A and B are shown apart, each in its own frame.
Chain A
């Protein structure tokens, strides 16, 4: 099955071998100042953003919610959208985060799920969202944070992932794209930065894997969701 794609980073000659090639001149260091400028250009006044009123935990039947989430668990230890749906890293992130917040992480099969998650890492070092898909910087968050929550972040090759994330930067405009050479956007910029933080980059504040917020903010309000060790 031949593949013709205009982005010359992407390779693929059969369904199984989708991945990207990182060119030698791809960015290899963190361009923090560029990213700061990129995000700042979106506006930083409070009026530029709207917040939604988030519900309170005590208005939800937590037991039933947990039951529903667990009913979405699959043969591979992962989670899909609905009961019976195929496992997907985005859903897995939501479910592991949920199980953390509700104190139900012990219901996971952490070894099995951790294996499925670490198999998301491709030769390029990037992570995909499910088998036989292309790597994408946002999965550096969905997959990595899930691994951190279940205590198995050491199961991926951190150096190779870092190299991939850095290669997704745009040296001219700042920001991160989904994969090297593509257009940047705030969504992928957030997850590129957050992923690097989880990997231990000392230039970035520590991020909490459950809530995707700086740890110091959560410490201030005394919120420390469960993590497996």
Chain B
């Protein structure tokens, strides 16, 4: 029950109310029991129609009665001719319309209307569409009506363009637009798809009706028009959050193709690591390792036993297979399900090798923009900045400025981005943890881009108020890591994706950097991931709350037996 205000009454009023309720209940129960009896006896007569109508008028959420009513109607279909059936169902639609006037949000009523419309010998889809128009003009957030409308559109073949124009009208006239923008997000990719291989061509035939059309992007020409449309909306009303949500989607990018993004092989560890663009279950997708032309029987393991789906998978080769540094080896990893593969050559004298698409190559964190799109986004950035000056407390402006800067030049705007995030946390403090995590993600992306540009394997990001670690699958090849002076509270289990960290072969200095955090290591659980570093010898935990816990030394000795040098 929603929205029922509690009202205080006197004892006498209570008693009168109770008597009245009792009377109504008796009538209701009698009618209901009569229905159930009739149904049980397989009776499908006029009285049954009347009784169910009576009850459903006041309680359209009584699903069982709609079920019974459908049984009655199905029976009538068998004993009446088509014209009579047409009239019966038209009467049903009238009845439903009166139900919907009283309660336009009953699942039962809308479902029944859909059922009737589909069975009507001569449906009048125009009438149904007009019903939707009327209903939505009263409440354009009624998702029952929107869903019904989508069914009508599908059944009667209403052109996508016509529906797009409908959303145009609604968006132009109403404040509460989320449902309309949402509908647009499904219509645009149908009408103006971005063909996967040719990002800027328009007018390509639409793809077959894939359910996940939102994953299909919009061709550039229409996208730029859409930016303008949305910008008009949020300039007209900067507090219309639906436009800002939709704009964020427009600024986003397509899902990556599923592929192998990196193969790494270590001669010393006799290990192969494979990174995918999305989490996969290597044990079920047919991942094949071919070494020098010979298929290998290997067991693929994800970096953590808990992860059945992971972007990084590892296997060990039989001892001695590739350990002789005098030998050259050729590896191929086949992803048979996707008909994709990756080669990696391990040359003589080399202790390791890899083959990788960089984040820059893959446009993981930003896309290469056309001149036209760059120009449009730059002018949008300018406009939103102006709006932000007029509305300094509007968090949507601040967030959108950040997103535009990410799209245009993530490295160039890094400093400004950090400043805007700080303002955002002040303006919208309820969500400051979200902004901290989002900022962390962007700083990590920037660090990865800088690392790739410098062609080094050192990941260093300190004093950036990092609250979370992500994109760890991109750090497969990293040998040294510096995360000091941040606000990380724990190591995520995905940390094990860093397969090349020097700590695994002996040097330990990265851990000294890492532990030098802002004193947040407070429980044994925080240090759990270190237990999988068998070569860890020295651990400096000074300044962390964990040193205050009783019996800390003994517990740590138990967790990390290889540590001989423990500073608390």
Residues of A near any B CB (own CB < 8 A):
1, 6-7, 14-17, 70-71, 73-76, 80-88, 103-104, 106, 111, 114-116, 118-119, 121, 123, 125, 130-133, 136, 152, 154-157, 160, 170, 177-179, 181-185, 187, 229
Q: Taking CB as reference atom, which chain B residue is nearest A76?
A: B245
Which of B3, B211, B434 is A178 in contact with, Cβ under 8 Å?
B3
B431 touches A121 (CB 8 A): yes
B434 touches A75 (CB 8 A): no
Is B166 in contact with chain A by the CB < 8 A criterion?
A: no
Is B567 in contact with chain A by the CB < 8 A criterion?
A: no
Q: How far is the CB of A128 from chain B (nearest CB, A)?
A: 11
B434 touches A114 (CB 8 A): yes
A74 touches B241 (CB 8 A): no
B211 touches A83 (CB 8 A): yes
A74 touches B143 (CB 8 A): no
Is B492 in contact with chain A by the CB < 8 A criterion?
A: yes
For the complex, give the distance between the alpha carbons of A88 and B176 in Å: 15
A85 touches B147 (CB 8 A): yes
Q: Which residues of B contact A185 (CB under 8 A)?
A: 1
A87 touches B309 (CB 8 A): no
A80 touches B143 (CB 8 A): yes
Q: Which residues of A contact B241 (CB under 8 A)?
A: 16, 119, 131-132
Which of A83, A132, A170 is B176 in contact with, Cβ under 8 Å?
A132
B308 touches A103 (CB 8 A): yes
Q: Taking CB as reference atom, which chain A residue is nearest B437?
A: A155
For the complex, give the distance between the alpha carbons of A74 and B146 in Å: 15
B6 touches A86 (CB 8 A): no
A106 touches B279 (CB 8 A): yes
B1-34 CB contacts (< 8 Å) to partner A = 1-6
Is B373 in contact with chain A by the CB < 8 A criterion?
A: no
A131 touches B3 (CB 8 A): no
Contact A157-B430, Cβ < 8 Å, known A73-B212, A76-B249, A132-B141: yes
B interface secondary structure, majority:
helix
A181 touches B6 (CB 8 A): yes
With a 10 A CB-CB cut-off, give which of A74, A123, A133, A155 has the most chain B CB atoms. Answer: A155
Contact A87-B182, Cβ < 8 Å, known A106-B309, A119-B241: yes
For the complex, give the distance between the alpha carbons of A125 and B309 in Å: 36
Is B59 in contact with chain A by the CB < 8 A criterion?
A: no
B186 touches A7 (CB 8 A): no
Q: Taking CB as reference atom, which chain A residue is nearest B212?
A: A71
Is B42 in contact with chain A by the CB < 8 A criterion?
A: no
Q: Which residues of A contact B492 (CB under 8 A)?
A: 229
A interface secondary structure, majority:
loop
- Nearest 3 A/B pairs, CB to CB: A71-B211, A75-B185, A15-B175
For the complex, give the distance between the alpha carbons of A195 and B211 in Å: 34
For the complex, give the distance between the alpha carbons of A87 and B211 in Å: 15
Q: Give 17 new A-B contacts, CB below 8 A, not counting A84-B147, A182-B5.
A: A16-B240, A16-B241, A73-B214, A76-B182, A76-B249, A83-B211, A85-B147, A86-B183, A87-B182, A119-B241, A131-B178, A131-B242, A157-B429, A160-B430, A177-B4, A179-B3, A183-B1
Proximity bits, B177-210, A CB within 8 Å = 1, else 0: 0110011011000000000000000000000000
Q: How far is the CB of A85 from chain B (nearest CB, A)?
A: 5
For the complex, give the distance between the alpha carbons of A125 and B2 in Å: 18
Contact A181-B178, Cβ < 8 Å, known A121-B431, A131-B241, A132-B242: no
Q: Taking CB as reference atom, which chain A residue is nearest B6?
A: A183
Contact A86-B211, Cβ < 8 Å, known A7-B5, A16-B239: no
For the complex, give the distance between the alpha carbons of A83 and B215 in Å: 13
Contact A6-B182, Cβ < 8 Å, known A16-B240, A71-B212: no
Q: Which residues of B contact A114 (CB under 8 A)?
A: 434
Q: How far is the CB of A34 from chain B (nearest CB, A)?
A: 15
| Chain B interface, number of residues (Cβ within 8 angstroms) | 46
B245 touches A85 (CB 8 A): no
Proximity bits, B302-341, A CB within 8 Å = 1, else 0: 0000001100000000000000000000000000000000
Q: Taking CB as reference atom, which chain A residue is nearest B441?
A: A111
Is B493 in contact with chain A by the CB < 8 A criterion?
A: yes
Is B525 in contact with chain A by the CB < 8 A criterion?
A: no
Q: Taking CB as reference atom, which chain A residue is nearest B144?
A: A81
Q: How far is the CB of A114 from chain B (nearest CB, A)?
A: 7
Is B557 in contact with chain A by the CB < 8 A criterion?
A: no
Q: How far is the CB of A92 from chain B (nearest CB, A)?
A: 13
Contact A1-B175, Cβ < 8 Å, known A71-B211, A76-B245, A178-B3: yes
Q: Which residues of A contact B182 (CB under 8 A)?
A: 74-76, 86-87
Contact A155-B146, Cβ < 8 Å, known A131-B178, A132-B141, A187-B1: no
Please name 23 pairs of A and B residues whose Cβ atoms are closer than 8 Å in the assembled complex, sorted by A: A16-B240, A75-B182, A75-B186, A76-B182, A82-B150, A83-B211, A86-B183, A106-B279, A114-B434, A119-B241, A121-B430, A121-B431, A131-B245, A132-B241, A132-B242, A152-B434, A155-B437, A170-B6, A181-B5, A182-B6, A183-B1, A184-B6, A229-B494
For the complex, give the distance between the alpha carbons of A104 and B237 in Å: 39
B143 touches A88 (CB 8 A): yes
Q: How far is the CB of B284 from chain A (nearest CB, A)?
A: 11
